[in-house]
Structure formats: structure tokens, C-alpha cells
Amino acid sequence: MSGDGGEGRRVLVTGGSRGIGRAIALELGRAGFELCVNYRGNEEAAAATVSEIEAAGGRAAALRFDVADRDACEHRLAEEVSRAGPFWGVVLNAGIHDDAAFPVMKPESWDRVLRTNLDGFYNVLRPLVMPMVRAHRGGRVVVLSSIAGLAGNRGQTNYAASKAGLVAAARSLALELAKREITVNAVVPGLIETEMIEGTRAAEMGKLVPMQRLGRPEEVAAAVGFLFSDGASYITGQAISVNGGML
């Protein structure tokens, strides 16, 4: 990373204790950013991520809240901004899926996925954006979408809708924040080796990809790391796919 790198810049990564979120937190920690690793329930996994960042010479702390809980986000994040000042960057990675064919999808499955994946965008960013603007330091926001949000996927109408909404929300917010030098982009992973696809036939799924393999969390994290670099300061409102050539 060129210029000042992450020196003195604090970044929140939601869902940062496992999978892609963990890889992103480690990537940004190596780049010199001070990390707040958000988690909802797995304190041990969050502590392990923080320890690994610190072992590599970085700075990190765990921050517990549920992105689907609007009041909790407002309280916890306002408290954190008051304690340590505004964040310079935010990575919205936390998300869930609850798959079923649409005719048998339960209302609570629809609501839970949309509340976490899409409402989480509002719940987390709403308390953080104005402090970022008032700091006059620019900044970065990266939203993790999914190939399902671009191409759709059977059995994932709720998940695909939430992830498509995130791309539109990121592009719209990018227009609002561009003159503040705060970039907002979406990273769109394809089939990645994470807990989300455990129990599936990974080898067969890999054959669906032109590169004939699943992606790795570190490859998604590298794209996020680039968007946080000085070299990406003129990139905003984009949806960058990391999918081995699927789209």
C-alpha cells in the first residue's frame, strides 16, 4: 500500500471473526489499519482473529453487536465513536442465508435474511457516516455482496434479493459521499471455500467455475485490501466480482 497506508486509520469489519470476514480483517491488519472485529456470538473466534492480527504486529479489538439489531448498532457504535473517534473505513461483511424454494419459504426466513443482510447496511452505516464526513479525512466503505445478487440462484430468493439490494445501496451512497472523498464499493464473491458451502459437493461446484476451482477467502480479501489502498482512491460506486470468471 502506498502513502500513509493504514497508519492511524481505524476500520470496522462486521462478521470479522470467521470466513471471508476474518480473511479481510487479517489483510487490513497487515496493511497497518487498526481493526475493530465485529462478531455476534462466537467470542472465541473473534478473540483468535484479534490475536492473529496482534501477533503480526497489528492492532485490533473485538466488538460485539448484532447488525440486525438497529438499536444495539446505534448504541454500540455511537459509544465506540465517542470513545475513540470516527472510523476511517467500514467493511460490511456480516450476512446469513436461510435457503428454501420460494413457494415454501417461511416468512421468518425472508425477514431474517433481509433484516441481517440488507437492513444491516443501514443499521451499521447510519451511525458512522456523518462522523466520517465531519472528520474531513476521506474514507472507505466496502460492501460484500454475492454472485447470487447479480445472477440469482434457485432456492435463494431472499438471499439474492438482499445481496442485489446491497449493490444498489452501495452505488447510491457512493454518489452521496463522492465529494467527501469517501469511496463506496461492492465486492461480489462467487463460489468461495467457506462455512456457507460446507456439506455441499465442493469438487462438483468447482467444475461450474471457468477456473475449475472454488475461490479462497484470501482472494476476496485481496480485492478489499486494494479498495482500501491509496491506489484505489478514484474508484467508487463499483461492483467488483471475484468469481473465477463465472460472470
> What pLDDT score was predicted for residue 203?
65
Residues 6+ apart with CB under 8 A from 86: 10, 128, 131, 132, 134, 135, 137
Cell of 190: 462467487
CATH class of residue range 10-242: alpha beta
Measured CA to CA in angstroms, residue 17 lies from 109, 220, 227 at distances of 24, 15, 21
Q: What share of the chain is helix, strand, coil (3-state, %, to 5)?
A: 50, 15, 35
Residue % of the chain over a pLDDT of 70: 94
The amino acid sitting at 69 is D
pLDDT tens-digit profile of 53-90?
999 999 999 999 999 999 999 999 999 999 999 999 99
Region 139-159 average pLDDT? 97
Q: Are 102 and 157 spatial neighbours (Cβ–Cβ below 8 Å)?
A: yes
List residues with catalytic annotation. Answer: 159
pLDDT band for position 200 (cuts 50, 70, 90): low
φ, ψ of residue 233 in degrees (nearest 5):
-70, -15
Residues 6+ apart with CB under 8 A from 228: 1, 6, 11, 28, 31, 33, 89, 140, 142
Whole-angstrom distance, CA of residue 7 vs CA of residue 166: 29
**Has residue 3 got a pLDDT over 70?**
no
Triad 63, 186, 228: Cα angle to 5°: 65
Domain locations in the chain? 10-242
> What pLDDT score was predicted for residue 9?
96
Region 176-199 average pLDDT? 90
Query: How many Cβ atoms are within 10 Å of 246's Cβ, its own excluded?
Result: 16
> What pLDDT score was predicted for residue 1?
40
pLDDT band for position 204 (cuts 50, 70, 90): confident
φ, ψ of residue 12 in degrees (nearest 5):
-100, 130
DSSP 155: T
Region 207-226 average pLDDT? 95
DSSP 217: H
Query: How many Cβ atoms are within 10 Å of 12's Cβ, its own excluded?
Result: 24
Rounded to two decimals, the pTM is 0.94
Whole-angstrom distance, CA of residue 84 vs CA of residue 91: 18
Q: Where are the alpha helices (DSSP H) in 136-177?
A: 147-151, 157-177
pLDDT tens-digit profile of 25-49?
999 999 999 999 999 999 999 999 9
